Amino acid sequence: MRRGIYQPLLLNEDRYFDPDPSVRFVARTLYEETRELPLICPHGHVDPALLADNSPFPEPTALLIIPDHYIFRMLYSRGVPLESLGIPARDETPVESDPRKIWQTFAEHYYLFRGTPTGAWLDHELHDLFDVTVKLDGGSADYVYDQIAERLAQPEFRPRALFDRFNIEVLATTDKASDRLDAHRSIRDGDWNGRVIPTFRPDAVFRIASADWRAELDLLSDSHGKPIADFPSLIAAIEERRRYFKSFGAAATDHAVVEPYTARLAPNDAQEIFRRALNGDATPADQTRFEAHMLIEMARMSVDDGLVMQIHPGAHRDHNHVVAERFGPDKGADIPVATEYTRNLSALLNAYGNDPRLTLVVFTLDESAYSRELAPLAGHYPAMRLGPPWWFHDSIEGMTRYRHQVTETAGVYNTAGFNDDTRAFCSIPARHDLSRRVDANYLAGLVARHIIDIEDARALARAMAYELARDTYRLASPPEAKTFHAPATMGSR
């Protein structure tokens, strides 16, 4: 291993822009108008305890590698054992515990990320946050490790300081229905002004055929403070928990399902299925019908309480049983499946899709649905917006395909704006920056082809970078609340 001979890490100011000068010039102009806008983070997975505790981050490996399945699944795919990356095993399997050794393994395989968004985010994070100026590889591993570790020890690198430095206007976490939101309470009651809000995610109590279900229901019952002995008391508990989340500023709910199937159950059927679940007799078919009904119930409640409803369908979870059994869920083995929306969402949209009090943000891992189903649905139903490119598609090419395949049918204003969807707090600025660059470049392409003019592009760039996320999730602070499509500001700037 050569050490001491480093390649420079350079972040070009025009990165991700088309090289054609007429596109690049406009892209740069548009990006300059959005790059400093505050970050709206309406959907993500940052642990709120991070900001409640405000403890220093640990050393680089524990911060950047061990918790990030985007990173370790790629090394695993090329034969690097998860054990050697220090991923904690549920069983007795010993795993590497030397952070420098793990970091070295990571650095030696960092070339696998060439051309990937993870590579782009990490380079940005290393360069702009940690002031690293050399390319990461086997030779520079130690040098880079030391540089990051040195920065992490400084008070300016505490979570709250970074939150402020990142210019985050609001950060939504994702929390179980039974969560007591202690970290959110601590933040709210403290003297720091950062806006950190919970998101209500009740999936676990809808999965009535799952082995964990009863325990999850008991947790919900405990938080709720009342027994949940029948379907009406479940509904009452959920309604109460939503109010509780709202009291902590929650703006949205979130729902992960394999298929976005929606169908109303007759009241007796809902009660009967729930009874079977309480007896431990619910079948997968019961769960399918139950989840389909509960999605419609969630829309009904959103009409009442104003929480924005998000659906994230299409992930086949824990595809790799060997990995899931040894290392647990969320270890990079969630694989998408083809997802149908037109028929599946029909019952929900017919029930509440015409009601302007509902905002339903729909995501996909199946890009073939963008132009076929999702843009036509979002381009018709007042309640529906299309969520930004999700997960594997939260990338330069993925975002570009999304805009190309969605805009002509749904327009820009039926999309929900960007969210970073990350548990990697330090990567948040890199993710927003990449998104703003790619959107600026998309719009510059429209300008260069004379599809829109520069004035329209400027309005759209601001909407895509900031306003759409803020307004879709109803996150504007009351005094300055404006809907983005008021004619005076949008239609005739």
**In the complex with a second copy, which residue's Cβ is closer, 185 or 401?**
401
Q: Which is nearer to a second copy, 106 or 231 (CB)?
A: 106
Among 204, 311, 333, 360, binds a second copy (CB under 8 A): 333
Residues in 127-186 at the binding interface with a second copy, rule: CB under 8 A: 137-140
Residue 111: CB minimum distance to a second copy, A: 5
Nearer to a second copy, 49 or 80 (CB): 80
Measure Cα distances from 164 to 80, 169, 398, 474, 486 in Å: 37, 9, 29, 21, 30
d(Cα 45, Cα 53) in Å, to the nearest integer? Answer: 16
Find the shortest distance in angstroms from Cβ 388 to a second copy. Answer: 15
Span 88-127, contacts to a second copy by CB under 8 A: 107-117, 120
Task: Please say which residue, 276 or 380, places its beta carbon nearer to a second copy.
Answer: 380
Using CB under 8 A as the binding rule, the residues of this chain from 228 to 287 that contact a second copy are none
Closer to a second copy at the Cβ: 131 or 455? 455
291 or 366: CB nearest a second copy: 366
The residue from 313, 353, 388, 429 that contacts a second copy (CB under 8 A) is 353
Contact segment (CB under 8 A) with a second copy among 161-169, 198-206, 268-276, 411-419 equals: 411-419
Which listed residue (227, 451, 481, 482) binds a second copy by CB under 8 A? 451
Identify the residue among 165, 316, 317, 482 touching a second copy (CB under 8 A).
316
Q: How far is the CB of 136 from a second copy (least distance, A)?
A: 9
Nearer to a second copy, 181 or 378 (CB): 378
For β-strands 39-41 and 196-197, DSSP reports them as unpaired
Does 14 bind a second copy (CB under 8 A)? Our answer is yes
Cβ at position 325, least distance to a second copy in Å: 10
Select from 263, 452, 454, 476 the one that contacts a second copy (CB under 8 A).
Answer: 452
319 touching a second copy, by CB under 8 A: yes
Contact status: 32 vs a second copy (CB under 8 A):
no
Give phi and psi for 188, each to the nearest 5: -60, -40
Site size toward a second copy, by CB under 8 A:
109
Task: Kindly tell me which residue out of 55, 283, 342, 477 binds a second copy, with binding defined by CB under 8 A.
Answer: 342
Does 365 engage in binding with a second copy (CB under 8 A)? yes
Considering only the stretches 94-102, 195-203, 213-221, 450-458, report the one whose residues sit in contact with a second copy under the rule CB under 8 A: 450-458
Residues 366-405 that bind a second copy (CB under 8 A): 366-368, 371-373, 375-382, 384, 392-393, 395-398, 401, 404-405
Part in contact with a second copy (CB under 8 A); list of ranges 30-38, 213-221, 299-307, 340-348: 340-348
Minimum CB–partner distance for residue 490 and a second copy (Å) = 5
**Binding to a second copy (CB under 8 A): which residues in 454-473?**
455-456, 459-460
